[in-house]
Amino acid sequence: MFKVLVSDPISDLGIQQLMEAADVTVDKKTGLSEDELVAIIGDYDGLLVRSQTTVTPKIIEAGSKLKVIGRAGVGVDNINLEAATKQGVVVINAPDGNTITTCEHAFAMMMALARHIPQAYAKTVSGVWDRKSFLGVELRGKTLGVLGMGRIGSEVAKRAKAFGMSILAFDPFLTEERAEKMEVKLATVDDIVRNADFITVHTPLTPQTRNMISRPQFEVMKKGMRIVNCARGGVIDELALVEAIDSGIVAGAAFDVFEKEPPQADHPFLTHPKIIVTPHLGASTVEAQENVAIDVSEQVLHILRNEPFINAVNIPPVAPSVMNKLQPYFNLGEKLGSFASQLVDTAIREIVVSYAGDLSDVDTQPLTRYIVKGVLTRYFGSDANIVNSMHLAKTRDVNVVVTTSSKTQGFTNLLTVLLKTEEGEERVVAGTLLQGYGERIVQLGKFSVDIALEGHQIVISHNDKPGIIGHVGTLLGQNDVNIASMQVGRSTAGGNAIMLLTVDREVPEEVLAHLSSLPEINSAKEIALV
């Protein structure tokens, strides 16, 4: 008989499957302190929480029988994942339970924005009958730009079509084929910014999406467009948005999220007459709260019964002998994946991971998860982790292929990551661990290199001509960018060549643009491994 403790308020309907299971006993004890939980957790096989309980290392260590911790929701910030992983406890969440709820909230915000509903309500209940000040617009016939076509963005697009809107959709994993099936038009961020009447954001917050819409984007928008953010604060530059509204570019905005929550009392959104705000209510419905509890309860039951499960957010237990062999390569693999993903410009369709040497003799699945996570972190940020990375790849139609070989090109072990894109682009990065030197890149495309896999790097593709290295060094020096190390390679004299630089700090975009414009240089990209 398994015992599960529910330490936060969760409806009986949400955990009904657990409560009715013949092999499970459920105890509901809410409002417990850390010491009170420590005193009783040793009797339980599973722990089910929402956001109130903070699951500390002390609690996890005391849970000698714990097999699983379930979070009835998406975020797991209140659970110490490192402590759970060390103790072999699987942590799961419910990422799908709030999809429809958040979608509907985004659509409600869009409709409220189009028709000035909150402002009109406030004036009416204050005793003022004013029909002239709130002339709205129809959704029918308008162009909606959807930034992020994951679960929520796809559902928003589906509903917008029912309202007679045309959909421009951007997602780094959205293909022409999938876009056609969804009856949306695949577009770039620039296409959406320039042509949309409404924009709705459904992306995670990553270095690539932070301030995705800022002053340069507002400057080229259609006058009178409207913008909705029910995803993550920080994706849209808040101060630049206020400026765009005040200057007449943007007609209004509706935000459920802020860069810092709760916002300061003097935040300009809170008093602006053309901005609608709600306190992060995207997942706040009775149905969503029940759905996430139902989803996580089902997975808890699977884990207790040693059945296949999904939605784990930490690495499942691995045999110690395998872990000892793989662990030194986890960081290398994740960095190689990250490096490779920053080289591509179009949607990734396939990730090919090749292991050579001693690693070809063991189950490399845990290491593959780190590599795939490294690739996907560029697009999903902290939402990608070492357990859900394979699932994320599958849901975005990204094929993951693993090959092994005994040939190591002179290295004890060699990891190679090949990314194939929808446009036929291929990027190859290979790395290894060198005794005394640590993690190294040893191959970039068809060129052999040897450089540390760390910090900020610049990858320059150029023609092999005299003076190019000098031009690059001079330009970086003039912009206070110090070069820590350099590797160069070429196919033939005067042919294609590559330059790989490690620099001491982030390279400004204008400097990269200037580098790319130098004679004989084909491209310059910054790779951040920090």
Burial class (CB in 10 A: 0-12, 13-18, 19+), 225: buried
Burial class (CB in 10 A: 0-12, 13-18, 19+), 251: buried
Q: Which of 20, 261, 307, 510 is catalytic?
A: 261
Q: Do the beta carbons of residue 401 and residue 353 sit within 8 Å?
A: yes
Q: Do the beta carbons of residue 348 and residue 297 sit within 8 Å?
A: no
> Residue 55, by phi and psi: left (phi above 0), alpha (psi -120 to 50) or beta?
beta
Q: Do the beta carbons of residue 353 and residue 393 sit within 8 Å?
A: no
Name every residue whose Cβ is closer than 8 Å to that of residue 392 and which is 6 or more positions away in sequence. 372, 376, 380, 383, 384
User: Of the candidates 54, 111, 105, which has an alpha carbon nearest to the alpha carbon of residue 83?
Assistant: 54
CA distances from 113 to 136, 355, 481 (A): 8, 53, 45
Residues of 108-127 as b/e, b for ≥16 C-beta within 10 angstroms?
A: bbbebbbbbbbbbeeeeeee
Active site residue 349: no
Q: Do the beta carbons of residue 187 and residue 166 sit within 8 Å?
A: no
* Rg of the chain on CA atoms, in Å: 26
Active site residue 151: no
Number of other residues whose CB lies within 10 A of the CB of residue 98:
24
* DSSP H stretches of helix in 197-319: 215-219, 238-246, 286-304
Q: Is the dihedral of CA 177, 178, 180, 181 positive or negative?
A: positive
* DSSP H stretches of helix in 480-526: 509-517
User: Of the candidates 166, 113, 170, 121, which has an alpha carbon nearest to the alpha carbon of residue 144?
Assistant: 166
Give the max Cα distance, the chain: 82
**Amino acid of residue 334:** E
Distance of CA 114 to the CA centre of its chain: 29
Say which residue the tokens 């001079």 belong to: 474
Q: Which of 115, 267, 272, 280 is catalytic?
A: 280
Q: Which of 116, 232, 396, 456 is catalytic?
A: 232
**Amino acid of residue 14:** G
Name every residue whose Cβ is closer than 8 Å to that of residue 478 and which is 6 or more positions away in sequence. none
Active site residue 280: yes
User: Of the candidates 445, 446, 486, which has an alpha carbon nearest to the alpha carbon of residue 469?
Assistant: 486
CA distances from 36 to 30, 261, 318, 442 (A): 11, 30, 31, 53
Write out the catalytic residue numbers: 232, 261, 280
